[in-house]
């Protein structure tokens, strides 16, 4: 049986050859044109010596070239290794060596670091896909269990790990997103502002959109104002983003209030991190559409749960498990077994089903620690209510233990973000000799806020949070450090707070 990620695109070509597949800086590419380019790239890779089973790295921005390289390598029977767009050359070299790539495809503004990293790893690098060779007549067949993509996790400690995602993982997840969760249709237009090297952008935006025969509008670099302009200009009907993108869009819309018609969205999806309810409410008010939150990780392809039509929506939660997937809440302190907890109790979220990855590349120890009793241990703390809605409380590693009390940073952030002077906030734990850890809020103040002080924020918080929960320390910052998908890098904040 063959089940290829490349075939996701190929099937849409047969159904919708003349519809627009991709919009890249105003250039429109039809499904027929995209598929022809993919098969040409696959043939060129074969002529360059790439064989089925080889690994090909891709370090490209959100442009049509990423799609040609990604699907072209898959059509040639290779495994794709998308490289994180913010890595330095030394980190790129590590990924290339560890994954055993035979070739790196780079380009755009990322070409210098791609070339330097490849040189350090002794791997051939090409700017764009190499020319030459006849187009392949059709994609190389792939078995469902064959590895399609290796995605390197950011890792909280040590070197990043290569998560092995199979063709079945990706095709099934993209199909569920397209069919069950969003009911995507050929007349939908999806904004592709999420990084395509990341699982969220790759499966939910790119693969799900192309499976439906819809149009993907690419955005190489996200800004709130730029996204607002694209939403209106291209008639975008579906927006997928992370919380910081939602925040930026709301702020951009407020700045341009009354100066331009508001874009009309059919659906909005949030993932990657918890979306503050206050931001969700502001977005829904401004754009007159519901925000649907989901949850997943690189290792779950990525979607595991979602606020979906068949099971209902509850703001502040990440919904129910998607079709074919089970999600439980387990005792976080028991690491060598999965001990499921009853509804209402906080524990570690565990997942099993068609979306769970095939393990970490050449790391059986890490794989065994992550997949226990057939369940993938996510490292996230969650709780399920009596109606089956899952809420993510926080990362297990972000939990603050103050004087013996468990403090979940997200709960504190949800309150602080409603302060009239607070634009953004992240809550972390810092060492404290008396209580073990103390609660620290890192705050970005609104530009129009006047003279807000640390004591102002602390006093405001004390009135709205339990005595053990409100922050005793407030630090002000011009901006919060963000990862490539817009997730706040709390490790960087903690390091800065403990070194100052």
Q: What is the pLDDT of residues 405-417, one digit of tens each?
A: 778 888 899 899 9
Separation between Cα atoms, residue 87 and residue 92, nearest integer Å:
6
Would you state the pLDDT for residue 433? 79
Would you state the pLDDT for residue 387? 96
Q: Is the peptide bond before 271 cis (omega within 30 degrees of 0)?
A: no
Range 405-413 contact pairs with CB under 8 angstroms and sequence separation of 24 or more: 405/468, 406/346, 407/439, 407/468, 407/469, 408/381, 409/490, 410/274, 411/469, 412/439, 412/441, 412/461, 412/465, 412/469, 412/470, 412/471, 413/276
Question: Quick one: how far is CA 344 from the chain centroid?
Answer: 27
Would you state the pLDDT for residue 156? 43
Low-confidence ranges of the chain (pLDDT < 70): 1, 154-158, 260, 500
Would you state the pLDDT for residue 158? 59
Rounded to 5 degrees, φ, ψ at 31 are -60, -40
Which domains are present in the chain?
Answer: 5-169 (3.40.50.980), 399-499 (3.30.300.30)
User: b/e string for 352-387 if b means 16 or more Cβ within 10 A?
Assistant: bbbbbbbbbbebeebbeebbbeebbbbbbbbbbeee
Would you state the pLDDT for residue 450? 84
Q: What is the pTM of this model?
A: 0.87
Q: Which residues contact 94 (CB under 8 A, 6 or more apart)?
A: 121, 159, 160
The string of pLDDT tens digits covering residues 357-368 is: 999 999 999 999
Separation between Cα atoms, residue 418 and residue 431, nearest integer Å:
27
Separation between Cα atoms, residue 40 and residue 212, nearest integer Å:
23
Would you state the pLDDT for residue 500? 66
Would you state the pLDDT for residue 157? 46
The string of pLDDT tens digits covering residues 444-468 is: 999 988 889 999 999 999 899 888 8
Q: Which residues contact 152 (CB under 8 A, 6 or more apart)?
A: 81, 83, 84, 95, 99, 160, 161, 162, 163
HSE-CB of 381 using CA atoms within 13 angstroms: 21
């Amino acid at each position: 049986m063959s089940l290829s990620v490349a075939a996701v695109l190929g099937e849409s070509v047969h159904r919708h050859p003349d519809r627009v597949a991709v919009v890249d800086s105003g250039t429109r590419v039809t499904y027929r044109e995209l598929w022809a380019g993919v098969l040409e790239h696959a043939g060129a890779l074969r002529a360059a010596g790439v064989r089925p089973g080889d690994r090909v790295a891709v370090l490209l921005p959100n442009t049509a070239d990423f799609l040609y390289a990604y699907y072209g390598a898959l059509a040639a029977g290779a495994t794709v290794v998308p490289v994180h767009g913010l890595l330095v050359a030394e980190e790129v070299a590590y990924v290339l060596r560890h994954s055993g790539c035979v070739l790196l495809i780079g380009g755009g503004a990322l070409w210098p670091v791609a070339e330097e990293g490849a040189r350090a790893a002794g791997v051939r690098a090409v700017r764009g896909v190499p020319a030459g060779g006849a187009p392949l007549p059709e994609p190389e067949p792939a078995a469902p269990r064959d590895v399609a993509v290796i995605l390197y996790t950011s890792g909280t400690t040590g070197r990043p790990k290569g998560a092995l995602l199979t063709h079945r993982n990706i095709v099934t997840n993209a199909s569920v997103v397209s069919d069950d969760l969003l009911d995507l249709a050929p007349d939908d237009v999806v904004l592709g502002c999420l990084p395509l090297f990341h699982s969220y952008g790759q499966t939910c935006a790119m693969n799900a959109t192309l499976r439906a025969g819809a149009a993907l509008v690419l955005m190489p670099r996200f800004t709130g104002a730029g996204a607002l302009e694209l939403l209106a200009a291209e008639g975008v009907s579906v927006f997928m983003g992370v919380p910081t993108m939602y925040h930026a869009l709301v702020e951009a819309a407020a700045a341009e209030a009354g100066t331009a018609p508001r874009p009309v969205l059919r659906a909005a999806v949030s993932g990657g991190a918890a979306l503050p309810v206050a931001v969700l409410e502001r977005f829904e008010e401004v754009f007159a559409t519901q925000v649907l939150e989901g949850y997943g990780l690189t290792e779950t392809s990525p979607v595991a749960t979602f606020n979906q039509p068949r099971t209902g929506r509850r703001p502040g939660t990440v919904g129910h498990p998607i079709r074919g997937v089970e999600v439980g809440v387990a005792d976080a302190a028991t690491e060598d077994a999965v001990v499921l907890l009853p509804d209402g109790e906080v524990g570690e979220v565990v997942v099993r089903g068609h979306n769970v990855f095939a393990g970490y590349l050449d790391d059986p120890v890490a794989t065994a620690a992550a997949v226990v009793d057939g369940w993938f241990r996510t490292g996230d703390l969650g709780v399920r209510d009596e109606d089956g809605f899952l809420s993510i409380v926080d990362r297990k590693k972000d939990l603050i233990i103050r004087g013996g009390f468990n403090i979940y940073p997200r709960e504190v952030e949800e309150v602080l973000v409603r302060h009239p002077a607070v634009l953004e906030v992240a809550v972390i734990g810092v060492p404290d000799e008396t209580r073990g850890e103390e609660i620290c809020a890192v705050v970005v103040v609104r530009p129009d806020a006047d003279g807000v002080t640390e004591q102002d924020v602390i006093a405001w918080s004390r009135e709205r949070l339990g005595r053990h929960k409100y922050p005793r320390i407030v630090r002000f910052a011009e901006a919060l450090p963000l990862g490539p998908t817009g997730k706040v890098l709390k490790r960087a904040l903690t390091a800065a707070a403990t070194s100052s």
